[in-house]
Structure 1
Amino acid sequence: MNEGSNVEFSEREALLFHSEGRPGKIEIIASKPMSTQRDLALAYSPGVAVPVRAIAEDPGKAYDYTAKGNLVAVISNGTAILGLGNLGALASKPVMEGKAVLFKRFADVDSIDLELKTEDVDRFIDAVELLEPSFGGINLEDIKSPECFVIEQTLRERMNIPVFHDDQHGTAIIAAAGLINALHLTGRDIKATKVVMNGAGAAAIACADLIKAMGLPQDNLLMLDRTGVIWRGREGVNQWQSAHAAETDRRSLADALEGADVFMGLSAAGALPAELLAKMAPRPIVFAMANPDPEITPPEAKRARPDVIIATGRSDYPNQVNNVLGFPFIFRGALDVRATTINDAMKVAAAEALAQLARQQVPEEVATAYGVQHSFGPDYIIPAPFDPRLMEIVPAAVAQAAMDSGVATKAIEDMDAYRQTLRGRLNPTTSVLTLAYEGARANPKRVIFAEGEEEVVLRAAIAFKEGGYGTPVLVGRESVHERLEALGANPNEFELHNSRNSPLVPQMVDFLYARLQRRGYLRRDCERMVNQDRNIFGALLLQLGEGDVMLTGITRTYAETMRQIRRVIDEEPDRTSFGMHVLVGQSHTVFIADTTVNERPSGEELAQIAVGAAQVARRMGHEPRVAFLSYSTFGNPEGRWLDNIRAAVKVLDEQAPGFEYEGEMAPDVALNPRQLANYPFARLSGPANVLIMPGLQSANISAKLLRELGGDATIGPMLIGMEKPIQVAAMTSSASELVTLAVLAAGGIAR
């Protein structure tokens, strides 16, 4: 229903997101090396002739020698773009690119968007049909009704690969999962349930089809369009709507709701008046799925009927009907068994798998990130959209249903091994990061932006506020108001602290003087620092409880910023503060420390850094495997700078910290399983994912080199181990990177 959330943002921020760097949201990269003449000869001529001949002899070999088996086309003609209507094929391209990104992000399915400049149904069908050799599946998107029915049905008949119109079936599958659980909670049997379907478009008809396939009797569903109930014999309805015509004398929504168990809305905002809920049966079930605003909001529904179970398409209410729970994982399972279609059995299997998942105990990382402990009940009948178990459970159920129903052309012999493979396809960090944003919205904090006069900081503060992640507390002079206005924001909606007129200044000076009077500072020095240094002033706001988190770093070097902060805030007791960069790829994450703070840490400090880094890795969904890096591997070659590393290992040996660690090790041994196998006594069970560097110089150089050359996304540096949550960003940080640091700190992941 809703593939994202209702997060607010400015138009400028949205356009910058899509235009900065490489325009758009997707690119194509080679999956094989292309460095040498030999690589090119194998990839193209003459080497490519070998797989060409093999595929000509056996077309099934295309799945072995090309990307076909993991490639889906997202296709639209732009006739029904989101809630914007018919804006044309070209205007739909940002949406289709976004859909392609979701396929990759959630299920590791490669996808390409194709926008067809035609509203002629036959031309559209012909164009898509001719693409069959290129793709393993077709995802149709944003095509108006009723043409979408003709297009999908015809393509399913003509093509031997899955064709799936997500606007119809995605919504139906997620809604069906919620309905299964709502019926379970209210003790209803679907065969005796009475359903009112308000709406008669593509998604509504797909919902009706699916719940009837699950056992709902034909006349137990009353479908309404703008005119009223679609009854048997009524004129002015199309063939897909007439298939759901019921034998009834009811004509209006009020008539239809008399004694109904379930209301399913795919119509318009406000279409369900609260007073009509009184007509429904005890413990009514309401799926108000109009986008972006539901037929009735949960607060309105619960005031009218406290016993209601309600779902919507919105992320700011419980029970979100979100298509992203379905289509990536459905295609994942269909592709993995080379299904020729996506049939009702596969859709029902997906719905049942989602329903069962919602009944299981919610993983700790999901509960922590959302700030609430989800558990199965009236407010949790549909899984959280970013539950990491989706990737394992839904594709496996779909693949099994495809095999059982005879549409799979490749069998999965070992389903347990397949589920293990699914778990390894995605990087848990990406789920945790998304969950962190969701958690920030569920448990918003006050974040002090200490450099509030800088445009990039103001853009971050605006995005932080409009995203619903918390309250930005800006530090700056009066000119901040003008700069906010220039960025299209309302200055009156932002909290500003100015050291020239803040009533907190005397208290700040007293606090700072008490800390520094025995370090050579006079009271007038403290007054000057409070009035003139934004980092001192911001850190004091944090100390005095005016904010929960502080973010700075744009206008000063890291070392200078840390010196200023330490005049106000200490390290946590018995901890060494340090900086960490996190490198995030599609299927891996590597944590590198200490990249910012300690120039030549002692053995004890290295051990504390390792413990702190391992804790962050666990909070981001990884079981830490720590390697203390060096130019030497277990003394080969010998050198002068190994004692502190060996001392760190001894400290951990005495502490038994509960995670794997080893050292000293060269990077290739730590990261390459073949190299690691040369040392059978090594204590790492696999490649290291937490790299503890011997000194600041090597750590900082390595992190920046990997960021520029490695191709992974980089988070950080994150500051770990301070008494108060503070993040010191890189001077070159973008607004988006600042928001991520603020969210991670506010959510307790970076601490």
Structure 2
Amino acid sequence: MTDEEILSLHAQHHGVLNMAPQMAVHNREELGKAYTPGVAVISKLIERYPELKDKYTLSGKLVAMVTDGSAVLGLGNIGPAGGLPIVEGKALLYKDLAGVDAIPLTLDQVPVAEFVQTLKNISKSFAGFHLEDIEAPRCFEIEEQLRQAVDIPVYHDDQEGTAIVVLAGLINAAKVVQKPLTDLKVVLNGLGASGVATARLLIKMGVKQLTLFDIDGQVHPDSPEYNQYQREVAQESLVQEHFDDLSSAMVGQDVFIGLSTADVLTAADVRTMAKDPIIFALANPKPEIDPAVAKDGGATIIATGSSQYPNQVNNILAFPGLYKGLLQTDLKQVTWELEAQIAQALAQMISQPEPAKIIPGVFDDGVVTTVAQSVIDFAKSQHRKGD
């Protein structure tokens, strides 16, 4: 499809979403039930019992998708207005794939405290916040502070979504090459929002032999050029060896996870890795290494972020089902334990993993249902622990 066709299609519909009524209003009786005077009954009740707003209004099922457009994948800082089509498109996926109602919102690139306060001020209208395309490190600060400020779930797709799907793929990749997950030696290149969250989750799962790289080279616990969140994950890694560059770090590694930019890895780099190399080249629109080049270098398993190749590691596998599940529970936090359970559920959808199939496809039957059920099961387990 050409650029002109895409623009024409979106202009024709003024975007990809609209509002649909849940009740008909064709006469006075229906008007009285849907709006005045009937609505006064609901308003008076909610005035006395504010928590009932979630039962009698849209707030109990509506997710706010919020961006400031400061870190859009493949496009960079394109501003709040530029980020709007991204969250609008994801809101469409929520509805189409999971039946979840989501509304796209953009905020100016204001200080963290103002950003958080703005969302807190409107939080009574929503059942959860989905943060999207917010640059690091402010995305970490926003998520942490917002979780403390509101009593509804807060989820940052660039962090938690990426981490969940990478872990799901890696669980099955480890099975294919017959190596214990916790023994894997991993180079992770690109320690932005998604990289930090992925490193955190892998460490929690026992994968601690992590060598971390970003734009200024290797990340160490005392690296002055990196932020506190990047230094903290480096502190938790068991790898203390210093490498001059990415190529030297690749020698003897089991896994490369790229959450960075195109063409940073070569076939020669892959050849220096341990037996049965695993390559997750997830940069979009162009991966860190072309799959054909990685295969030429001897890679056993290759995953990308693109639908053009097998093993697409994409957040779309996680977020629709995740919020579908959250809306059916009373969970208020997306914890690493919940992320791990979702990842394991996704991995288990592939009963016999093989190099070309380590993770479900975006349109495979049961993805949303599996993720939602894993959230519901997790909530039940938390209740049992609390009994």
Scaled by the length of structure 2, the TM-score of the pair is: 0.94
Which amino acid in the other structure matches residue 377 of structure 1? E
Could you say which residue in structure 2 is the equivalent of 1:350?
342
Greater relative contact order structure (CA < 8 Å, 6+ sep): 2
Distance (Å, rounded) in 1 between the aligned partners of 2:382 and 2:15: 39
Contact preservation (8 Å) 2:61, 2:100: yes
Could you say which residue in structure 1 is the equivalent of 2:272?
279
Could you say which residue in structure 2 is the equivalent of 1:114?
105
Scaled by the length of structure 1, the TM-score of the pair is: 0.49
Could you say which residue in structure 1 is the equivalent of 2:151?
160
Which segments of 5 or more consecutive residues in structure 1 lack a partner in the other structure?
1-8, 361-375, 412-751
User: Kindly tell me: are residues 262 and 18 of structure 1, through their superposed partners in 2, closer, same or farther at Cα, counting changes over 3 Å?
Assistant: same
Match of 2:355 among 378, 389, 392: 378
Q: Which runs of 4+ in 1 moved over 6 A?
A: none
Contact preservation (8 Å) 2:63, 2:128: yes
How far 1:123 moved relative to its partner? 1.5
User: Kindly tell me: are residues 381 and 81 of structure 1, through their superposed partners in 2, closer, same or farther at Cα, counting changes over 3 Å?
Assistant: same
Could you say which residue in structure 1 is the equivalent of 2:257?
264
Contact preservation (8 Å) 1:156, 1:162: yes
User: Kindly tell me: are residues 59 and 188 of structure 1, through their superposed partners in 2, closer, same or farther at Cα, counting changes over 3 Å?
Assistant: farther
Contact preservation (8 Å) 1:197, 1:265: yes
Matched, 1:400 2:377: yes
Contact preservation (8 Å) 2:221, 2:232: no
Match of 1:30 among 21, 25, 28: 21
Larger Rg: 1
Distance (Å, rounded) in 1 between the aligned partners of 2:80 and 2:99: 26
Distance (Å, rounded) in 1 between the aligned partners of 2:101 and 2:154: 16
The secondary structure found in structure 1 opposite 2:359 is: coil
Matched, 1:64 2:55: yes
Match of 2:317 among 318, 325, 345: 325
How far 1:149 moved relative to its partner? 0.9
The secondary structure found in structure 1 opposite 2:63 is: strand
1:493-525 Cα offsets, whole Å, 9 max, x none, are xxxxxxxxxxxxxxxxxxxxxxxxxxxxxxxxx
Could you say which residue in structure 1 is the equivalent of 2:214?
225
Number of equivalent positions: 383
Contact preservation (8 Å) 1:181, 1:355: yes
Contact preservation (8 Å) 1:341, 1:407: no
Distance (Å, rounded) in 1 between the aligned partners of 2:129 and 2:280: 28
1:190-222 Cα offsets, whole Å, 9 max, x none, are 2221111011111111110111122212xx111
1:415-435 Cα offsets, whole Å, 9 max, x none, are xxxxxxxxxxxxxxxxxxxxx
How far 1:405 moved relative to its partner? 3.2
Could you say which residue in structure 2 is the equivalent of 1:207?
198
Distance (Å, rounded) in 2 between the aligned partners of 1:225 and 1:250: 13
Contact preservation (8 Å) 1:263, 1:285: yes
Could you say which residue in structure 1 is the equivalent of 2:172?
181
Matched, 1:388 2:365: yes
How far 1:229 moved relative to its partner? 1.4
How far 1:407 moved relative to its partner? 11
Q: Which moved more, 1:24-33 or 1:106-115?
A: 24-33
1:92-127 Cα offsets, whole Å, 9 max, x none, are 222221111011011100011111123322211111
Could you say which residue in structure 2 is the equivalent of 1:16?
8
The secondary structure found in structure 2 opposite 1:161 is: coil
Match of 1:191 among 178, 182, 197: 182
Contact preservation (8 Å) 2:216, 2:225: no
Could you say which residue in structure 2 is the equivalent of 1:730?
none
Task: Report 1:703-714 matches (<5 A).
Answer: none
Contact preservation (8 Å) 1:69, 1:338: no
Distance (Å, rounded) in 2 between the aligned partners of 1:338 and 1:194: 38
The secondary structure found in structure 2 opposite 1:177 is: helix
Distance (Å, rounded) in 2 between the aligned partners of 1:256 and 1:244: 17
Distance (Å, rounded) in 1 between the aligned partners of 2:194 and 2:385: 26
Contact preservation (8 Å) 1:402, 1:408: no
How far 1:52 moved relative to its partner? 2.2
Matched, 1:254 2:231: no
User: Kindly tell me: are residues 241 and 130 of structure 1, through their superposed partners in 2, closer, same or farther at Cα, counting changes over 3 Å?
Assistant: same
